[in-house]
Amino acid sequence: MRRVIVTGKAHEFLISSLKERGFDVLYDPAISYEDLLLQVGDVEGLVVTTRIPIDRKMLEKASQLKWIGRLGSGMELIDTEFAKLKGVECVSSPEGNRNAVAEHALGLLLSLMNHIIPSAADVKKGHWLREKNRGTELSGKTVGIVGYGNTGSCFAKLLRSFDLVVIAYDKYKSGFGNEFVREGTMEEICREADVISYHVPLTPETLHMANSEFFGSLRKKPWILNTSRGKVVDMEALITALQAGRVSGAALDVLENENIESYSAEERQELGWLLAQPNVIVTPHIAGYSHEALLKMAEILLQKIPL
């Protein structure tokens, strides 16, 4: 029987649909790299998330593999070039969770600018501090969007209800500007933006894209959002920028190292410092993880994989 291994959390609709199409499905969202390596030899398809790398070693073991389906966006954990050489088709489903990511980014931004989390914490402690928690309106500001793919464009769409300016930069796209979104450069974003939001994949080009040089080039004191990949933002550089007052605050749904149990003393100190700041919000990589997105990603993946 044709076998598929699902290596991450997936909607039941995906599992049942694959079974209806004649696949023997092993659903093991906690499977380790080593266990997958032992079992991948006779599988026709793999469904993956951001948990396990599908590298050359894994692909060489998977002699019967025909396709890899990525739940969500970003293919950085898959050696797509070697997969192509082996005739393995790789597809992803960013359309499924782009709205969830965009809504989460907007929620983070509004919470950050309006001191919602620290003011709610004050009230829980019995303190009614209005002046300390005076907010800043998003309307009238300039928002810089870095990466204008599925999530970046969806975030821009949500911002339409605000009276603001959107400048979007995408190295690999052009011609997407409209009456609401202005195509711009990173230099323009660094010069004009009150908010800078990252929506890029992790590649050698985007690794530490937000580094000390970037923070040093800012002309305003923007709020920084990252709902893409943790390593897009250099954590040490961000902390330095926050300490120096170069940015107004930061909201991160992703971290450079999301395995908190493995943290070194230095990493624990950095994260501890961030979490202690009233102008910083950290959420556990849940932006694209809504109930609706889980189903949409499954539906889209089923349309794309060569069944």
Catalytic residue flag (residue 267): yes
Q: What are the residues whose beta carbons fall under 8 Å from the beta carbon of 175, sequence distance 6 or more? A: 183
Catalytic residue among 98, 104, 229, 246: 229
229 among known catalytic residues: yes
**58/6 Cα distance (integer angstroms):** 15
Distance CA 200, CA 195 (A): 16
In terms of DSSP bridges, do strands 181-183 and 24-27 run parallel, antiparallel, or are they unpaired? Answer: unpaired
Question: Contact at 8 Å (CB) between 48 and 54?
Answer: yes
Q: 239, 307, 288: which is closest to 71 by C-alpha?
A: 288
Q: Which of 76, 183, 188, 267 is catalytic?
A: 267
d(CA 52, CA 43): 16
How far apart CA 235 and CA 256 sit, in angstroms, is: 7
Q: Are 237 and 272 in contact (CB under 8 A)?
A: no
Q: What are the helix and strand counts (H, E) for the chain?
A: 12, 12
Question: What is the C-alpha separation between 73 and 27, in angstroms, rounded?
Answer: 20
Residue 60: active-site member:
no
Q: How far is CA 235 from the centre of its chain?
A: 16
> In angstroms, rounded to a whole number, what is the distance separating the alpha carbons of residues 140 and 238?
25
Active site positions, annotated: 229, 267, 285
